[in-house]
Amino acid sequence: MKQNQEEKHTVNYQPCSMADLNRAVAVLNKGGVVAFPTETYYGLAVDPMNPLALNHLFALKRRDTAKPILTLVDDRDSLPYLVHETPVVYLQLMDKYWPGPLTLIFKAKVNLPSLLTAGTSTVGVRQSSHPFARQLLRAFGRPITATSANVSGQAAAVDPYEVKAQFGNQIDMIFDGGKAPGKTGSTIIGHEGGQLKLIREGVIPYEDILRTVQKG
């Protein structure tokens, strides 16, 4: 395959090879954007610690910079990259629902880019259960963004072809992990005043979240 321009904007089909993962890591390290499947929709990954990459991501999505960007971690050991502290009640939820479609809002580390947190001093994190997402996280070795693959106001993409339909050749690399479940996003839970707070109900019903905590 020819290099440079012709190497960009390709769709990588299963199985996911180490060569593909290495290319994806190189893209992320250079501030580029990788589209990949998750257990909800396709997501757009950039390095969440790179302000230039985040700025590019907002521009691609035509997203309001007042809205924070959600992130993915490979495991709990990766939380210190992003998180200042973990509420005790979150430990029960992580035991029950991670990896899976549960995003938890944490107090953010002070050094995170303001574009990532939108000035909220918080950061949304989940551990993906999708094998493609987990492979990408392990190869990169640190968190990635998990914002849905769509232009703001349009439906989130559930396969690589919908990604290309919305973004054309603006995405540096697209993984094809088949069709994502779609339908709804992750459930987002916050923690304020010692109490859980529902930010967005998604795949996991809030009633199930509350029952888990009550049982604990």
Question: Where are the chain's structural domains?
Answer: 4-215
The predicted structure's pLDDT at residue 9: 40
Whole-prediction pTM value?
Answer: 0.91
The 3-class SS string of 75-101 reads CHHHHHHCEEECCHHHHHHHHHHCCCC
Q: Residue 131 corresponds to which tokens in the numbers above? A: 């094998």
The predicted structure's pLDDT at residue 158: 96
The predicted structure's pLDDT at residue 14: 53
Q: Residue 130 corresponds to which tokens in the numbers above? A: 């999708």
**Which parts of the chain register pLDDT below 50?**
1-13
pLDDT more than 70, % of the chain:
93
CATH class of 4-215: alpha beta
- Are the CB atoms for 28 and 145 separated by under 8 Å? no
